[in-house]
Each structure stands twice: as C-alpha cells, then as structure tokens.
Amino acid sequence: MLKESDRKKAELLAPAGNMERLITAIRFGADAVYLGTTAFSLRNMADNFTIEELRAAVSYAHERNVKVYVTVNAFMRDSELNDLPRTLIELANAGADALIINDPSVIRTARRVVPDLPLHLSTQANTLNSEAALFWHEQGISRIVLARELKLSEIAEMRRRLPETLELEAFVHGAMCVSYSGRCLLSNYIAGRDSNRGECVQPCRWSFEFRERGRNGEFFTLETEPSGSYILNSRDMCMVEHLDEIIDSGIVSLKIEGRMKSILYVATVVNAYRMALDGADMGIVLDELRRVSHRPYTTGFMLENDHEMTAPDSGSYVQDYRIAAVVLGYDPENKTALIEQRNRFFDGDELSILSPGDVTRTFRVNGIRTVEGEAVGGAPHPCERLIIGCAEKLREGDILRQLN
C-alpha cells in the first residue's frame, strides 16, 4: 500500500475539449489538462481551442496551479511543415506547459523554434521498451506517454532502466482503441477519413454482419445478438482499483481519455479518481464510475491475466445518470439555486448532487420559476436559466444529475 504522500505526488491529467470542460476538470480535481487547438490535433471533431482561447485557458489554469499540455500529435505532410514553426511559437507564447507530439518532424522543429518548451511523446509512438524511451529522450523528449499494450510489470522494469529526467505517463481510464496504440487505417478505408490526422469516424464501434456459405452456396448470417455483431468494439479502460500499483510502477501522470466527452463525464470521472487518490471509499468511487456513460470496463493490458478487450455482446453505452443542470449560484437564506438547465426535469423530481469530493447527497426539487419570477412546472428548454427550490446547500459549478 502506497503512502498518502505518494498518491498526492501523482498527477491527475484530465481531458479538456473546450473551455467549459477545462473549467469543469479543474474544479473537480485535475492537476493538469490536455487539449487541442484548431491545428494539428488528433481530435479534429472536438471543439478545440483557437490561440486566443488557449491564452485564456492557460491563464485560468495557471491561476489555479494547473498545467496545460497541448496536443500537436497529427502525422504531418510536407505541405503542412511551412505552418508548423509559426504554430509552435504561438503555442509557446500562449503559455503551454508542454506539447504532446509523436511525429519526428514536430520534435525536430520544436527543438529549433521553441527549445525551452517540454515535449511529451504521444501514446501513438507506441513506446514499449527502455531503449526506445532512451532514444526519444535523446531527441529532447521529457515524458513518454506509454503504449497501452504494456503490463505494469514491464513498466516497472522500464522505469528502473531510465533516468529520473524522463517521466512516464499512462492512460488509466476511458475509451480504448482496438488498433495497436491507436494507429488505425479502418476509418481511412471505410470512410476516407484519416484517423491518424484527427478525423476518425470510429467504424470499430459499428455493427458488422458475418456470413457463412452453406453447402448449397447459400449464405447464412451469423450474429452475436439481434442488433448485429460488435467484434471490434473495445471496452473502456478503468484502473481506479489499481492506482497504488500504477504509481508504484513509476508512472507519474494518470491520464483520463475523453476530449470529446460531456462535462458530466469529465466531472464524474475526474472527481472519482481524485476521491480515490485522496483515499475515499472505493465502493462510492466505483458506483460513480458505473453510473457515468461508459462501455463495459476492462483493465486493458496492464494486469497479468486480464486481456478482455472487446465487448461483442453490446455496441451501446451503459449510463444511469444524465445531467439536469449546472448550478450558477445558491441563496442559503431562501434555499433556492440559480441553475442553467441542460435536460428536462420537473418540479418534485429527485436530483443527485455532484460536487468536488461530495457525491452522496440528493434532494427533491421544491418549486421551479423563471428568473423573472414566473412559476413553471418543469424545465423544458436547454440552457435556460431558472430558479429552483433546494434544501441542500449548493455551490457554483455543482452539477445536478437525474437517474434515467
């Protein structure tokens, strides 16, 4: 069992697909966030940040002692190299704490134009051994985001062979790619969208049909369930029960996947891992992670005997909670909250409160009215500001959830 001080040293690294999710991740306990800009990111379908938005994001994060890592992890073409130096300089000037990269051209250019900016090597570089890690360290890499195919025992052996100046980071939670270290051509082949340049349409999540030819030449469809077969549909990773083992292996940064996930997902998962690192009851933590939107969980390749990666019996998510509203303010004298509604709910409904380190409280809505004072029976319009009666004390930024 690790000491509490060892857990405190571990960096909890959260996804930030836009400014709202960045604020949410920080509020619920992230030590660092990673995000993409509108250039050279492997999540082009996320909202992403302009340079101006990045400056604001870095300012917000740094005021709260949180680091910001920026992805420049697309595979580059010669036609893009002319714009690369300017982009890297803009990211450095915006205050980024490090770049997450995988293409040697970006490493070479970054060392020339922003030599003081730390470089983190993406998991897509599929670093699997200490010699490869040392090679990248010699090129200027200060942190390796390890390949997801490694066992914890292999990571521990790598750590023993590496200098202290080279840090190790690993994914501990979120969607897994069925392809080796995420390097996939299936999206290119099926949809003409390059997954290695941020445009993956995730065909691995689709239902496929299998046919067998009988003796008379007739084809018979084979299915794992009535809705189809999901042989490439990977489970989601969840390592929350093994954080001590992960940290003990030498990993200093615990990475959560999900730049395209909702604020409810970001808040719930970051909060759960922060609670786990702070020594909270694991039953409460696991209950939170089971209720947030997810595919069936796996520990991936990290443990010695658990490589159950695919979920062929289901192509859908498991989700108990949906977001009802975000709290904008609370009046303790009148026991009312100003909220921004996100999904429909009604007067008298029971809502669950998601607050940093606090997930067990519920309340029943006692009256709903508009900010102008008009009483209404429900909250039908997304993003509408309303005042609701709430006997439980709330704080700005708390999320109100409803069981499906």
CA angle 105, 106, 112 (to 5 degrees): 95
Task: Classify residue 383: in a domain, yes or no.
Answer: yes
- Looking at 172, 200, 222, the residue that finishes a domain is 222
DSSP E strand boundaries for 140-269: 141-145, 167-175, 210-213, 219-222, 236-238, 253-256
In angstroms, the CA 236 to CA 248 distance is: 23
User: Exposed/middle/buried for 85, CB within 10 Å: 0-12, 13-18, 19+?
Assistant: middle
* The pLDDT value given to residue 317: 73
One-letter amino acid for residue 300 of the chain? G
247 and 218 share a domain? no
The answer as to whether 308 is a domain residue is no
Contacts of 176 (CB under 8 A, 6+ apart): 148, 234, 235, 236, 237, 298, 300, 309
Q: Which residues contact 238 (CB under 8 A, 6 or more apart)?
A: 173, 289, 294, 297, 298, 299
Q: Do the domain assignments include residue 311?
A: no
**Does residue 188 share a domain with residue 159?**
no
CB distance 319 to 292 below 8 Å? yes
On whether the CB atoms of residues 274 and 32 are closer than 8 A, the answer is no
259/205 same-domain check: no
Give pLDDT tens digits along the chain (404 positions): 555 667 778 999 999 999 999 999 999 999 999 999 987 765 555 568 999 999 999 999 999 999 999 999 888 889 889 999 999 999 999 999 999 999 999 999 999 999 999 999 999 899 999 999 999 999 999 999 999 999 999 999 999 999 999 999 999 999 887 766 666 667 676 667 666 656 676 766 667 666 667 667 676 666 666 666 676 778 899 999 999 999 999 999 999 999 889 999 999 999 999 999 999 999 999 999 999 999 889 998 999 876 666 665 555 677 889 999 999 999 999 999 999 999 999 999 999 999 999 999 999 999 999 999 999 988 777 778 999 999 999 999 999 999 87
Quickly list DSSP for 37-70.
BSSS-S-TTS--B-HHHHHHHHHHHHHTT-EEEE
CATH of the domain at 382: 2.40.30.10
User: Is residue 102 located within the same domain as residue 163?
Assistant: yes
Residue 108 belongs to some domain of the structure: yes
Res 74: pLDDT: 83
Q: Do 138 and 242 fall into the same domain?
A: yes
Last residue of a domain, one of 267, 298, 329: 298
- Pair of tokens at residue 24: 């949410």
Residues 161, 166, 171, 177: what is their CA dihedral angle, to the nearest 10 degrees? -80
Tell how far CA 218 is from the center of its chain. Answer: 46
Q: How many domains does the chain have?
A: 3
Domain holding 356, by residue range, is 321-403
On whether residue 310 sits in a domain, the answer given is no
In DSSP terms, 327 is beta-bridged to 339
Residue 146: alpha-carbon gap to chain centroid: 16
pTM of the model: 0.90
Q: Residue 340 domain-assigned?
A: yes
Which domain CATH number covers 124?
Answer: 3.20.20.70
For residues 282 and 328, membership in a common domain is answered with no
Domain contains 379: yes
Task: Specify whether 169 is located in the same domain as 45.
Answer: yes
Q: Does 250 lie in the same domain as 116?
A: yes
Residues 61 and 136 in one domain: yes
Instruction: Mark whether 101 and 126 lie in a shared domain.
Output: yes
Question: What is the model's pLDDT at position 296?
Answer: 86
Asked if 6 and 249 count as a contact pair (C-beta separation under 8 A), the reply is: no
Shared domain for 264 and 174, answered yes or no, is yes
Q: Is the same domain home to 63 and 51? A: yes
Q: To which residue do tokens 């670093």 refer?
A: 127
Crossing angle of the two packed helices 51-63 and 84-93, in degrees rounded to 10:
30
Query: Is 375 part of a structural domain of the chain?
Result: yes
* pLDDT score at 401: 97
Q: Which of 168, 195, 222 is the last residue before a domain boundary?
A: 222
Please give the pLDDT value at position 181: 66
Task: Supply angle C-alpha 249, 260, 232, rounded to 5.
Answer: 70
